[in-house]
Structure 1
Amino acid sequence: MQYFPLFVDTQALSVLIVGAGEVASRKLALLARTDARIQVLAPATTAEVDEFEAEGRIALERRPATLEDMQGFDLIYLATANEQLNIDLAEAATQAGIWCNVVDNPKYCRFITPSIIDRGRLVVAISTAGAAPVFARSLRARLESWLPQSLSPLFDFVAQRRDEVQQNVAAPKSRRLLWEHFFDLNGDKWDNDTPTHFQQAMTLAQDNSQRQGRLLLLDSCIEAQWLPLAVMPLFSQLDCIYSDLSIPFKINELLRRDANRAGIPHFTQLTGRLAQGERMLIFANPVEIAALQDQFPQAQSIKPGSL
């Protein structure tokens, strides 16, 4: 992974954009939606940049940038039509310890800006590390159609309820179960039923007797590409992963990263953990899987292409 995705709090971020042509305007249109303090340096500007200045969303100086300007900022975008000037300014920024992005010149970029889907508190970033921006745009268009606009008010509602959950549901696992149940009930909608779904989820989280454990059995002979799609949400909800074998990388990448991991416990321990509502996966050889199926008929055995 050459580029590691990070989300930066823009409330105290200062950004310099050098250039005010079409490319710089596109960068500016994204940045102007954040809380960052934005400075633009350019001898000539587009109507869009002038509009941002008139609205007070940027500070604009109509002059060429100099090497001395490459200091006092957290991030710098260089988007002039002069390639050598961009390189000179990038080197000055690097010497000053400032992360810099040079448009269309990855060699001088300390960071890149991904393709972004904005649903308020939910932000999705897509990058091909500069290799295939056309594909990234195509994927973004598909995701845009899949993620409804209702997610923005929905996540505002969720954010407003987090303190209430923190105060009333002590155990981290119970809080996670609460939110899982809420989204199972509510989906991605934001409507009059959303507060009711939240209260139902809160009631369930406070009543341990309603929790049901789950045991998934995965034969070590099954390869990742043959796993059924239906099992993916269950993998993301796992509390524990048990195996005496080394789990292949491609399968391991699909499992919940925060799940506890250990060797396979005794049958009596598994019975107790199921009674406590634990959601578990056992990865084992075919002989062990068969024995577990006999002992736990309620277990869900994962087959190639089916669950």
Structure 2
Amino acid sequence: MRYFPLFMDLQNKPVLVVGGGEVACRKVDSLLRAGAKVTIVSPKVESYLQTQIESGKCHWIQRFYEPSMLTRDYLQVWATTDNPALNHKVHKNAKEVGVLVNVVDDTPYCDFITPSIINRGRIQLAISSGGASPVLIRGIREKIESVLPMNTAQLADFAASKREDIKSHYATVDERRKFWERFFQTPAVLSSSNNQQLQQLYQGLIQQNVPFVDSCTWIEYGEDPELLPIKALRLMQEAEIVYHDKNCPFSFIDLVRRDAERIAYDQLTNVAGEISASKSQQQRVVVFISPNSSAYLLIKEGDQVIELAKIK
């Protein structure tokens, strides 16, 4: 992983943009949407930037760039001109004063890069190739856009409005997470069109008071994670604890929920007691096993086993 993914809070934070052309327009538009306090340095600007300046959304220094303009007061600086020498000068000055810098379309001169972004209100999806292939990323974004429901923003807003209410029904973070998983897996929720429908579904699910149960799923691993069944992927995203032997490829382990506890083992029998204890604590467990292993047959006690899809 070349870059660490990070969402930065720019609300009311000062950001400097050097350049006033088309590239600057795109960056300034995104920065303003994030609430940044943008200062533009350029002897002239495009009409879009002129409009933002006249409406008071940006501050304009109508001059050629000078090193003294770049101070530690800025959280970020963007070099967007069509002059590589000037952009590299901005980069050098930023490093001297300790300010994060992005030289557009010049990755070696970037402390950070901007991903391709999909916005659904509170929900933001960021996709990046580390600057290697913007065209590939555009194709991936189009695929995600085509399957992401348009009511995603509404669902996020509804969940945010219930943050305090849900605490009165479920005492622990784990219980609340399990409730929301069940809520968002309800087909009627995913197809809802207004908050009244969501409220009815929310209250109905809470009143059902269905107990949360433990589960243990044994999943075969192989060499190709694309052969994992859809059901296996869903259970891997729900599990609180994942056990895997040390021969299991990381490409399988990396598909489990990010905050799940991951425990490696040499011999399955060595963790049999831990697996049983996890189940008794109402934890959802996934155990990765080799397709050639039979040791789990002595331990699984009726748990479901999911085999890797076979290519014939």
The answer on 1:210 being equivalent to 2:217 is: no
Query: In 2 relative to 1, CA 63–155 (structure 1 residues): closer, same or farther, beyond 3 Å?
Result: same
Q: Structure 2 matches for 1:227-238, cutoff 5 A?
A: 227-238=228-239
Aligned to 1:32: 32
Q: Structure 2 matches for 1:136-175, cutoff 5 A?
A: 136-175=137-176
CA deviation after TM superposition for structure 1 residue 47, in Å: 1.0
CA deviation after TM superposition for structure 1 residue 278, in Å: 2.9
**TM-score relative to the length of structure 2:** 0.87
Contact kept, 8 Å, 1:245 with 1:284, in 2: the verdict is: no
After the TM superposition, which of the residue ranges 100-109 and 195-204 deviates more from structure 2?
A: 195-204
Query: In 2 relative to 1, CA 84–273 (structure 1 residues): closer, same or farther, beyond 3 Å?
Result: closer
Aligned to 1:64: 64
CA deviation after TM superposition for structure 1 residue 188, in Å: 6.2
Whole-Å Cα distance in 2 between the matches of residues 245 and 108 of structure 1? 39
Aligned to 1:302: 306
The answer on 1:289 being equivalent to 2:296 is: yes
Contact kept, 8 Å, 2:219 with 2:308, in 1: the verdict is: no
CA deviation after TM superposition for structure 1 residue 114, in Å: 1.0
Whole-Å Cα distance in 2 between the matches of residues 125 and 214 of structure 1? 32
CA deviation after TM superposition for structure 1 residue 46, in Å: 0.9
Aligned to 2:79: 78
CA deviation after TM superposition for structure 1 residue 130, in Å: 1.0
Q: What secondary structure, in the 3-state scheme, does the structure 1 residue paired with 2:159 have?
A: helix
How big is the alpha-carbon RMSD for the aligned residues of Structure 1 and Structure 2? 2.4
What code does the residue aligned with 1:90 have? H
CA deviation after TM superposition for structure 1 residue 133, in Å: 0.8
After the TM superposition, which of the residue ranges 140-149 and 84-93 deviates more from structure 2?
A: 140-149
Aligned to 2:53: 53
User: Where does the alignment leave 5 or more consecutive residues of structure 1 unmatched?
Assistant: none
**TM-score relative to the length of structure 1:** 0.88
Aligned to 1:115: 116
Aligned to 1:200: 204
Whole-Å Cα distance in 1 between the matches of residues 56 and 192 of structure 2? 35
Whole-Å Cα distance in 1 between the matches of residues 258 and 183 of structure 2? 22
Aligned to 1:103: 104
After the TM superposition, which of the residue ranges 233-242 and 180-189 deviates more from structure 2?
A: 180-189
Q: What secondary structure, in the 3-state scheme, does the structure 2 residue paired with 1:63 have?
A: coil
CA deviation after TM superposition for structure 1 residue 101, in Å: 0.6
Contact kept, 8 Å, 1:15 with 1:73, in 2: the verdict is: yes
Whole-Å Cα distance in 1 between the matches of residues 4 and 261 of structure 2? 25
Aligned-residue sequence identity (percent) comes to 30
Contact kept, 8 Å, 1:115 with 1:126, in 2: the verdict is: yes
Contact kept, 8 Å, 1:67 with 1:89, in 2: the verdict is: yes
Q: What secondary structure, in the 3-state scheme, does the structure 1 residue paired with 2:242 have?
A: strand
CA deviation after TM superposition for structure 1 residue 34, in Å: 1.3
Whole-Å Cα distance in 2 between the matches of residues 243 and 107 of structure 1? 38
Whole-Å Cα distance in 2 between the matches of residues 291 and 109 of structure 1? 55
Aligned to 1:264: 271
What code does the residue aligned with 2:112 have? F
Deviations 1:138-165 (CA, angstroms, capped at 9, x unpaired): 2222222222332122211111111222
Contact kept, 8 Å, 2:242 with 2:285, in 1: the verdict is: yes
Q: What secondary structure, in the 3-state scheme, does the structure 1 residue paired with 2:213 have?
A: coil
Whole-Å Cα distance in 1 between the matches of residues 229 and 222 of structure 2? 15
What code does the residue aligned with 2:251 have? K
Q: How many residue pairs get matched?
A: 298
Q: Runs of at least 4 residues of structure 1 off by over 4 A?
A: 220-223, 243-246, 272-276
Q: What secondary structure, in the 3-state scheme, does the structure 1 residue paired with 2:272 have?
A: coil
Whole-Å Cα distance in 1 between the matches of residues 135 and 211 of structure 2? 48
What code does the residue aligned with 1:158 have? A
After the TM superposition, which of the residue ranges 47-56 and 243-252 deviates more from structure 2?
A: 243-252
Query: In 2 relative to 1, CA 246–175 (structure 1 residues): closer, same or farther, beyond 3 Å?
Result: farther
Deviations 1:99-143 (CA, angstroms, capped at 9, x unpaired): 111122222111111111111110011111111111112222222
